[in-house]
């Protein structure tokens, strides 16, 4: 069974989840179900709470998500079917999406994309998009439902791996990091700095942008903040600005 067939069969099962048995959820075992039930039980706090969660609550939730993530594709598939009952999940929905994102199963991309047009709340769309970004390394611009549907149509997920998709995104971000328009260059350089495989070149690009002649005070503060967030150190100005070709020539 290929990726698209699995994804579509999974999506077809969502509306009837309340009465589903384990036999009706292909690739899902009892331990997968138990792992997701544990996430629902142990991850009950809201990150939007004024007081914030207690450290013990965070640790308990993180432990549950680690167990579910370790279960792999089966747990992620069950998490997605549980999300169909969003009116019952409350804040738990956030943590189920985190499990899906951490597992990174390309077989769930089509089902997630199909869910997007049905979401009436912006935060619900944000959760789906965040999971899609984590799984695919992509970030198509535009109205989420339309942009992700177009992205899905342009990518045969039966023929690529997540590593292939990462290579594609890295190439795109390198091109944008060398763009003269700071609106493209700054986010692209930041993205590169946050990926383990391109961290150093992302830092080089961010530092280079500090000497850009069109950089304003707010953009400078943002880059300083980005550099501090990645390195933990206060940034220093580079002595020279790498040219566009130098950035494009960087390789993994």
In total, the chain counts a number of residues equal to 252
Pair 79, 36: CB distance under 8 Å = yes
Per DSSP, helices labelled H in 14-121 are: 30-42, 55-71, 73-83, 86-89, 92-103, 109-115
Please give the mean pLDDT across all residues of the chain: 85
pLDDT digit string (tens) for 88-130?
667 788 999 999 999 999 999 999 999 999 888 898 899 999 9
Rounded to two decimals, what is the model's pTM?
Answer: 0.79
> Around 118, how many Cα atoms within 13 Å sit in the side-chain half-sphere?
13
CA 106 to chain centre: 12
pLDDT higher than threshold 80 for residue 204: yes
Q: How many helices (H) and strands (E) does the chain have?
A: 14, 0
Pair 27, 77: CB distance under 8 Å = yes
Give me the pLDDT at residue 169, please.
98
pLDDT higher than threshold 60 for residue 236: no
CA angle 108, 46, 229 (to 5 degrees): 80
């Amino acid at each position: 069974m290929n990726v698209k067939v699995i994804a579509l069969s999974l999506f077809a099962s969502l509306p009837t989840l309340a009465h589903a048995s384990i036999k009706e959820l292909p690739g899902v075992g009892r331990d997968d179900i138990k792992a997701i039930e544990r996430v629902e039980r142990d991850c009950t706090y809201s990150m939007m709470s004024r007081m914030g969660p207690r450290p013990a609550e965070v640790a308990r939730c993180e432990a549950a998500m680690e167990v579910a993530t370790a279960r792999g594709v089966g747990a992620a598939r069950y998490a997605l079917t549980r999300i169909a009952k969003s009116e019952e999940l409350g804040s738990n929905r956030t943590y189920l999406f985190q499990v899906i994102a951490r597992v990174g199963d390309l077989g769930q991309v089509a089902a997630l994309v199909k869910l997007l047009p049905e979401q009436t709340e912006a935060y619900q769309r944000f959760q789906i998009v965040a999971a899609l970004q984590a799984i695919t390394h992509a970030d198509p611009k535009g109205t989420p439902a339309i942009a992700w549907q177009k992205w899905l149509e342009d990518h045969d997920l039966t023929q690529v791996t997540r590593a292939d998709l990462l290579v594609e995104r890295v190439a795109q971000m390198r091109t944008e990091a060398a763009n003269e328009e700071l609106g493209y260059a700054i986010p692209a350089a930041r993205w590169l700095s946050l990926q383990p495989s391109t961290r150093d070149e992302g830092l080089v690009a961010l530092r280079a942008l500090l000497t850009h002649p069109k950089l304003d005070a707010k953009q400078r503060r943002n880059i300083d903040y980005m550099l501090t967030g990645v390195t933990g150190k206060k940034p220093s100005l580079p002595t020279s600005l790498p040219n566009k070709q130098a950035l494009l020539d960087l390789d993994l």
